[in-house]
Amino acid sequence: MKSSAFDCISRGLATLRANWQLVPLIWLQNVLVVAITVAGALVPVVVLGTSWWAGLEEWRPTSLEEVWLDFVAAVQPVALPLSVALLATGVVWLLAFLLFCWFQAGFFGVLMAAERQALPGQPRDWRLFRTFTLRDFAGWGRRWLWRYFGFWNLYLLVVLAWMLVVLLAVWGTVAGGQRWGGPAAAGIGCGAALPLAFSLVVLAAWAWLTPPDLAREEGSVGRSSRRALEVITRRPGAVLLLGLVFVAASLFVAIAFAPLGAVLSFFDIREQLVAYLVAQGVLQLLQWFVSGAVSTAAAGAAAALMWSEGRR
């Protein structure tokens, strides 16, 4: 029995209600990953010291060659400590990435457990989706950690390849315009923009549908990735409708918080910098929390769709 798009939305909302503890956990994931990433980025800054950075204020290079020569001259005296600092940054960022994958594995493990437990079709009772415990969350995190580590690395490689294709398209457009004129550049640019936009939509849908399937017992990076692409080609209408609904919900949250950010901009930042930064930080944390609820419902809907398509 396949679930319709509206069934999936209902099941995603039921999963959110039954396992609401996932929302603060996703909020905690965002806070920890951002904090650790920023801490890693600050390591080279601290190692180089304030005197090294102060010299950049009066730096006025006139050519790329001068930029390179000045960079080599400035880095050479601190090459060893800077290398150690960059290595430490890489290690810290790797730890942040592993922490992110652990949270993702626990998060989707709970969502797929809810789909296995609840009856198919329209949710009869939201309590049938109740599967969350901290012990189970941590257990799914340990069990599927490396699946998510492999998938998100694959995703980053695919995104990098897509960006390289975009750069090639831009280069082709500029080169075509220089050789054949403006109409040729417009034709090349428009001809490349359509497939690139379509591939970006498919990439976003693939990155949304694959993570829930990774939490299946028989899931793997390759198998779940292929299954997500099969669902996109077999149920494009349902995938598009679900995507539009939750993108609209995310935009609504962003628009709802925009006036609060605008109010903060009226403060004199120079006079009340600390208060401004604290208020912006609190506002951002609150927005993450509300967005986490939308993300949990969207992930629950994706889990419902993938479970419905893969049910035997």
Burial class (CB in 10 A: 0-12, 13-18, 19+), 18: buried
Higher pLDDT pick, 74 / 179: 179
Q: Which of 5-9, 33-37, 71-75, 292-296 has the lowest mean pLDDT?
A: 71-75
The DSSP code for 205 is H
CA distances from 187 to 178, 179, 191 (A): 13, 13, 6
Rounded Cα distance between 194 and 93, Å, is 35
Tens digit of pLDDT for each residue in 263-278? 666 665 545 667 767 7
Q: Is 49 left (phi over 0), alpha (psi -120 to 50) or beta?
A: left
Percent of residues, the chain, with pLDDT higher than 70: 86
pLDDT-derived band of residue 17, with 50, 70 and 90 as boundaries? Answer: very high
Mean pLDDT of 111-121: 88
Summarised one tens digit per residue, pLDDT across range 239-254 is 999 999 999 998 998 8
Rounded to two decimals, the pTM is 0.85
Q: Which residue has the tokens 């390289």?
A: 164
Using an 8 Å Cβ cutoff, are 291 and 10 in contact?
A: no
For residue 177, pLDDT over 60 is answered with yes
How far apart are the C-alpha atoms of 19 and 130, rounded to whole Å?
A: 6
Owner of token pair 């800077």: 82
**Per-residue pLDDT band at 57 (split at 50, 70, 90):** low
Residue 256: per-residue pLDDT: 83
Which of 225, 202, 20, 242 lies closest to 110, judged by CA? 20
Note the pLDDT of residue 59. 62
